[in-house]
Amino acid sequence: MSAKTFVPSPQIWRNKMSFADDIEASLRQKCATLPIDGKSFQRRMARCSLPDCRGMCCYDGVHVDAPTEAAITVIASARRSAFEAMGLALPDAVVVDGFVGDVLSGRKTATRPWAADEAMPGFPTHFERTFCVFRLDDGRCGLQVMAMQDGVHPWAYKPSACWLFPISIRGDVIRICDETNDPSRYEAYKGFVSYTGCGQTCADGAPAAEVFTDELRYLGDLIGRDLIAEVNDQISAKSPPAPDC
């Protein structure tokens, strides 16, 4: 008789995920009073098409805070066989030290090599040919797929920087950066958000406030603010904008 595999029901799993509360508390602490640059949500943008972009924003993994590192480390260990079933053979360490040049930049998800040139014509030349270990071959995020399988919110297990993208909560403002103020642009690196599919200006697109309504609502719900109203008020000039990027 084969041993039974314990597969927790979504609710049991959710209850075991007490670290979700830590992640949300960390977000609230960071964003509860963070100004939002509503005018940056006027730019015309469009959601990327996964068959085209294949999740290019995941090429270098993502930096994570301590609660998120703890969460995804537990998920990767506890659900290893489920990840394997979706095609992801995770390494033992799914979160590692990240570096910009020789300088430690914090903790981030591990990456693996990927022949992006062959699979994705137009892949930015200055992006490394790597991908986050949680990225599936078709560009979907394994953490999001796992959350959906568990019946919790699709973004419940996903690092906030990922589900918010291209919205940024880095620094002292919530905003969407553009080609003129991409914060990852250095002498030796041309930029990040402005080179990704959904981070670029799209003349045929819609105002970012409309395109990324779901992200604004989810973040607002987590931190107890109506971010959609704050953005719309700024766009209609009812309240002063946040400081410049």
With binding defined as CB under 6 A, does residue 58 bind ligand SF4?
yes
Judged by beta carbon, residue 40 or residue 109, the one nearer ligand SF4 is 109
CA neighbor of 157 nearest in space, from 230, 94, 81: 94
With binding defined as CB under 6 A, does residue 174 bind ligand SF4?
no
Residues of 33-70 as b/e, b for ≥16 C-beta within 10 angstroms?
eeebbbbbbebebbebeeeebbbbbbbbbbbbbebbbe
In the complex, least distance from residue 173 CB atom to ligand SF4, rounded to whole angstroms: 22
With binding defined as CB under 6 A, does residue 159 bind ligand SF4?
yes
Judged by beta carbon, residue 39 or residue 135, the one nearer ligand SF4 is 135
Site size toward ligand SF4 (CB under 6 A) is 13
Q: Per the structure block, which two tokens stand in for 241?
A: 């904008």
* Owner of token pair 């999740």: 55
Residues of 140-159 as b/e, b for ≥16 C-beta within 10 angstroms?
bbbbbbbbeebebebbbbbb
User: Which of these ranges, 7-15, 36-44, 132-140, 230-238, lies near ligand SF4 under the rule CB under 6 A?
Assistant: 132-140
Kindly give, in sequence order, each residue whose CB lies less than 8 Å from that of residue 245, ignoring residues fewer than 6 positions away.
Answer: 37, 40, 173, 175, 177, 181
With binding defined as CB under 6 A, does residue 135 bind ligand SF4?
yes
With binding defined as CB under 6 A, does residue 62 bind ligand SF4?
yes
**Sequential DSSP letters for 60-77:** T--B--HHHHHHHHHHHH
Q: Which of 40, 68, 109, 234 binds ligand SF4 (CB under 6 A)?
A: 109
Within 13 Å and on the Cβ side, how many CA atoms surround 95? 21
In the complex, least distance from residue 44 CB atom to ligand SF4, rounded to whole angstroms: 24
With binding defined as CB under 6 A, does residue 90 bind ligand SF4?
no
User: Which of these ranges, 36-44, 116-124, 156-164, 193-201, lies near ligand SF4 under the rule CB under 6 A?
Assistant: 156-164
**Backbone dihedral region of 171: left (phi > 0), alpha (psi from -120 to 50 degrees) or beta?**
left
With binding defined as CB under 6 A, does residue 147 bind ligand SF4?
no
Q: Which of 143, 164, 193, 242 binds ligand SF4 (CB under 6 A)?
A: 143
Task: Name the residues that contact ligand SF4, by CB under 6 A.
Answer: 55, 58, 61-62, 109, 132, 134-135, 141, 143, 158-159, 162
